Amino acid sequence: MDREAQGSNEVEKSLSDEDIMSHDLEDILDIHGTELDSWRSIMENWQRQRNMCVVQLICYVVYTLHLLNNHMRVETTLSQPLVLREAKRKILMKDLRDHEATCRATLRMGIDAFDIFCQKLRLTGVLKDYNRATVEEQVARFFAILSQTGGKYRNLALYYHRSIGTISYHFHNVLRAVISLAPEFLSQPNAATPVPSKIKDNHRFFPYFKFTYVLAGWEGTASDSRIIKNAFARPHGLVIPEGKYYLGDGGLMLRGSLLTPYRHVRYHLKESSLDGTKNAKELFNHRHASLRKSIDRAFGVVTKRFPIISTGSEPQYSFDTTTDIILPCCIIHNFLMGVDPDEALIAEVDKELAAQSGHNDTQCEEESRAGIELRDNIAEQMWLDYEK
């Protein structure tokens, strides 16, 4: 009996051990199954990240090849022997100095005016000759940049066989030198300043208008009245001499030294030429429009001569440099009005303004009258409803 009982206990113990081993195996399989899923997820994430890295690497390689391709022509040019590049630059400068048409097309001025201006810049002491870059070459590149839309250095680097860094360095040197001429070519008049005879005695006075004050840096969305208030409030701002006055358009405020046209009175020259002026206010507006049109021509000459300030493309320079470019353009304009007005350029601007003015001015005036009539009708109807 004892043996049978002992045998039975051993059988039960054996079965019990087998059950325990079975449960442990199931737990182990569950654990391994969970770990396997986790590892599978990790491998999938790693695979995705590797693929993304491969794509990014391909993009970097393509972009690098693109940059190398863009710089290939410049690098090829710079790899030429130094003597050969200097010889080509001398040929280019000789072509500018010997051919009036080439000089005017490239630099927007004649040969004599270019020589005079280079001499003025040399006398400032800000600009000087270098071993392989004369003042004339630096100024020529500066004018070439102002004369193109966007003002990119790459085109000049290829044309003058210079590196982009050298082009940029010389451009900013000339920029500072031209700005140093501001006291000579940008000065506000005082009470004793006489009206120049060329303006006083010539009904086509617009070619002789010059800039006396320049305020650059305001955003294009700023209102005219806000800008003029800031100009008056600055420490060295706009000053209107005693007994003098400036003309302003309808967007500015009327004050003793700033005359604006009468509102809701015929203003445009084309309207007055059709049936003549009928009263004092129309005559004032007619004369006001005539002077304003001449001022618009002066702005047109500057933007036509230096397209860099009128381009709508993305700026190639910092905000400070873009602002500084405006001032030299006005200084050079004032200089050229005294030595090289360029009547052909003025006539071209005059023709463009004449083509733009007629239809647009009449349409704006008609829209203004329609707006006034609509506003009056609405106000009248509102009043009648209010009285009921």
User: Which two tokens mark 315?
Assistant: 């700026």
Residue 310's pLDDT band, with cuts at 50, 70 and 90, is confident
Q: Which residues contact 345 (CB under 8 A, 6 or more apart)?
A: 108, 301, 304, 305
pLDDT of residue 3: 47
pLDDT of residue 202: 62
For the chain, the structural domain boundaries read 15-74, 82-180, 184-387
pLDDT of residue 268: 58
pLDDT of residue 113: 92
pLDDT score of 115 more than 90: yes
Does the pTM of the predicted model rise above 0.75?
A: no
Please state, as a whole number, how many other Cβ atoms lie within 10 Å of the Cβ of residue 340.
Answer: 19
pLDDT tens, residue by residue, 201-214: 665 554 557 788 88
Q: In Å, what is the CA distance from 220 to each residue of 47, 224, 237, 248?
A: 51, 10, 20, 18
CB 126 within 8 A of CB 180: yes
Q: How far apart are CA 213 and CA 18, in angstroms?
A: 103
Residue 318's pLDDT band, with cuts at 50, 70 and 90, is confident
pLDDT tens, residue by residue, 228-261: 889 888 888 888 888 777 888 777 878 777 888 8
Residue 1's pLDDT band, with cuts at 50, 70 and 90, is very low
pLDDT tens, residue by residue, 38-66: 767 777 788 888 888 888 888 888 888 77
pLDDT tens, residue by residue, 131-190: 878 899 899 989 988 887 666 777 777 777 788 888 889 899 999 999 999 999 988 887
User: Which two tokens mark 282?
Assistant: 């129309």
SS3 call for 133: strand
- Mean pLDDT, to the nearest integer, of 342-370? 67
User: In what helix (H) or strand (E) does residue 165 lie, and over which residues does it extend?
Assistant: helix 164-179
The larger pLDDT score, comparing residue 194 to residue 134, is at 134
